Amino acid sequence: MCGIVGYVGRKEATPILVEGLRKLEYRGYDSAGVAVLEEDTIQIVKAVGKLSFLENKLQKEKPTGNIGIGHTRWATHGKPSAENSHPHADCSGDFAVVHNGIIENYLELKEWLMEQGHVFSSETDTEVVAHLIEHYYEGDLEEAVRKTLQRIEGSYALGILCKKEPGKLIGVRKDSPLVVGIGEGENFIASDIPAILSHTRKCYLIDDGEICILTPDTIKITTISGEIVNKEIFNVSWDAEAAEKGGFEHFMLKEIYEQPAAFRKTLSGRTAGNKVQFPDFHLPMETVSQWKKIYIVGCGTAYHAGLVGKTVFEQLLRIPVEVDIASEFRYREPLVDEETLVIVISQSGETADTLAALREAKHKGAAVLAITNVVGSSISREADFVVYIWAGPEIAVASTKAYTTMLVAEYLLALYLGQLKGLVSDTLAGEIINALHSLPEATDRILKETAKYKEVAEYFKDKHDVFFIGRGFDWAVALEGSLKLKEISYIHAEAYAAGELKHGTLALITQETPVIALCVQQKTYDKTLSNIKEVKARDAQVLAIAVEGDTEVGKYVDDVITIPEINNFVAPVLTVIPLQLIAYYAAVARGCNVDQPRNLAKSVTVE
């Protein structure tokens, strides 16, 4: 978590750093700060809370200078406070450091540094880095940084300034993302591309164990041992506007409305008649036929996408599929080998648990395929094969368009593998492909019903607990719907397999616990109706999500929202959209900060 940014050039650094931090605020918003080299002093200004608090402070005390670093924090070590906010300095004030990641051995380093006489002013793990650099500095910042890196363990993207070497900005990466923006007469470092996109589209994607030494006119990238690394320039193809709100009140709403366009992009160039193709990679038949089992791994929403994927892959490939939460996967000694395909799903491509799972799977000899949104992300670079979802930048913490495009990518991938193995008939493939292509239009129709979602949200906004129920695909989508509601509106919500209610949870159902019942899947429709009757018998208010033309369910529930008719196999992509909207409007009605829910961050780069 946390976002870092750095600038070296001929312009005023502070506004550029603040603008960059604004784009990185999705990574954490417990505090923010900048350090700017003003003549011969490093001026540090920081404020607890959102970036706007720092901006207010900077009105009064704005450091001037042409080189600086900035940070937006998601607290891990030490509570959100002024002392724990970054940037951190050493004892002398000669060095300033910003950090995204965790220094795992910081306690022993801190003890050792204190024995050497260093005085600490925060509870953070990061501060040891500033003191170590101070300890090792003998007139060569690069050398001091190298020696420091040999002492620290854990994950880090670092931005480093030294007052004695003005005009030099250092960035370092290990297991936390870092890009270098290539400007003219100016250069940048950042945790993520949007932070520098209004200045340049040309970047270097920094790899683990690399150090970048930037001046206004030069960029040198080396390994920790000092060998020069020649990297290819990465040209960003999307524009800064794609990461702006574009007239919507929140990024989340904008991203919900971007889904039709995102589906078109996910599908673009990947279907031809009844066939699915992946020009992105070549999978030889020998490789595919060796896979006897699939493991899908992800976190949060990506994990929920995997739960839908389980049924999709099992149905089309007829091989066992297991789905695991990434933070559990690596510690359970998973039964994964050369005959396993591990599919890791991650919007950001940087989630630490998912990245660790990917590495564990590769270590065990499995082939790893990543479904991700971010080109050049760690996961995309380390996977053997990559399927991009092409959803465009997703800024809101609550994932929406990434989830639905992950599902589309799973359908495409399952069809592709199924066709390669001769398991999917052209007729079946044609039906699914047609349904996938009908998604944009069907979604547009759902998105027109704003008044209905607002009305429903108005009802839910004062509730303490909401239950979501469904069977099969509907249950998988219910899990995602409940996550959306709880993470942005702070209403307690749980999703249950409808048939499981009577084995315990039914005890919680009263007239105070509304139920959202997903009745889209036809195979289990009658069974779900029975479960609805069970909760109605306990006085629950029930909202059903059903398919247009359903004349039955309305007889048993209090309200119904419909989705357009679509092939039931592909329906989960549509079923979730009303749930995204209900969560959104309920959060707005409760006055919650929709794009930046408390305690969360978009990109979770710590385990």
CA distance 367 to 124: 38
Which is nearer to ligand M6R, 397 or 436 (by Cβ)?
397
Residue nearest to ligand M6R as judged by C-beta position = 300
Q: Which is nearer to ligand M6R, 127 or 487 (CB)?
A: 487
Query: Least Å distance between CB 597 and ligand M6R?
Result: 8
d(CA 582, CA 591): 14
Nearer to ligand M6R, 353 or 474 (CB): 353
The 585-604 contact track toward ligand M6R, x by CB under 6 A, reads: -------------------x
Instruction: Tell me the closest approach of the beta carbon of residue 310 to ligand M6R, in angstroms.
Output: 17
CB 377, CB 602: distance < 8 Å: no
Residues 2-61 that bind ligand M6R (CB under 6 A): none
100 binds ligand M6R per the rule CB under 6 A? no
Task: In whole angstroms, give the CA distance from residue 553 to residue 33.
Answer: 54
Contact status: 301 vs ligand M6R (CB under 6 A): yes
Min CB(334)–ligand M6R separation in Å = 18
Task: State whether residue 177 is helix, strand or coil.
Answer: coil
Distance (Å, whole) CA 41 – CA 34:
13
Q: How far is CA 606 from CA 103, 325, 574, in A?
A: 10, 15, 32
Q: Which amino acid does the sequence have at 49?
A: G
Q: Could you say which DSSP state residue 366 is in?
A: -
Which residue of 84, 148, 340, 351 would you call a contact of ligand M6R, by CB under 6 A?
A: 351
Interface mask toward ligand M6R for 389-428; x: CB under 6 A: --------xxx-----------------------------
Residue 258: which residues within 8 A CB-CB, separation 6 or more?
391, 392, 401
Q: Does 354 bind ligand M6R (CB under 6 A)?
A: yes
Q: Which of the stretches 15-23, 261-269, 345-353, 444-452 binds ligand M6R when contact is defined by CB under 6 A?
A: 345-353
Q: CA 1, CA 605: separation in Å to the nearest integer?
A: 5
Stretch that binds ligand M6R, among 50-58, 156-164, 341-349, 384-392 (CB under 6 A): 341-349
Least Å distance, CB 483 to ligand M6R, is: 6
Shortest distance, position 397 Cβ to ligand M6R, whole Å:
5
Q: Which residues pair with 340 in a beta bridge?
A: 293
Would you count residue 299 as binding ligand M6R (CB under 6 A)?
yes
Distance CA 498, CA 259 (A): 28
User: Contacts with ligand M6R in 186-245 (CB under 6 A)?
Assistant: none
Angstrom CA distances, 362 to 170, 176, 299, 336, stand at: 32, 19, 18, 9
Measured CA to CA, the distance from residue 147 to residue 137 in angstroms comes to 9
- State the catalytic residues: 2, 602
Residue from 20, 194, 216, 300 in contact with ligand M6R (CB under 6 A): 300
Q: What angle do CA 575, 580, 584 make, to 5 degrees?
A: 155
**Interface segment toward ligand M6R; rule CB under 6 A; list 189-197, 240-248, 347-355, 534-542:** 347-355
Contact flag: residue 343 with ligand M6R (CB under 6 A): no
* Least distance CB 251 / ligand M6R (angstroms): 12
Tell me the window of 3-11, 63-71, 88-96, 295-303 that interacts with ligand M6R (CB under 6 A): 295-303
Near ligand M6R in 474-493, by CB under 6 A = 483, 487
Least gap, CB of 418 to ligand M6R (angstroms): 25
Rounded to the nearest whole angstrom, what is the least distance from the CB of residue 48 to ligand M6R in the complex?
23
* CB closer to ligand M6R out of 122 and 347: 347
CB atoms within 10 A of CB 505: 16
Element (H, E) at 72: strand 67-73
87 prior amide bond cis, ω within 30:
yes
CA distances, 518 to each of 256, 394, 576 (Å): 20, 26, 10
Q: Which of 85, 200, 346, 404 binds ligand M6R (CB under 6 A)?
A: 346
Strands 321-325 and 275-276 come out as unpaired
Work out whether the CA dihedral 331, 337, 340, 342 comes out positive or negative: positive
- Which is nearer to ligand M6R, 395 or 535 (by Cβ)? 395
Which of 21-29, 54-62, 115-123, 293-301 is the region at the interface with ligand M6R (rule: CB under 6 A)? 293-301
C-alpha closest to that of 494 among 506, 508, 483: 483
144 contacts ligand M6R (rule: CB under 6 A):
no
Binding piece for ligand M6R, criterion CB under 6 A, among 6-14, 162-170, 296-304, 459-467: 296-304
Residue with tokens 């007889």: 555
Residue pair 254/245 in contact by the 8 Å Cβ criterion: yes
Q: Which two tokens stand for residue 210?
A: 């690399």
Q: Which residues bind ligand M6R (CB under 6 A)?
A: 299-302, 346-348, 351, 354, 397-399, 483, 487, 604
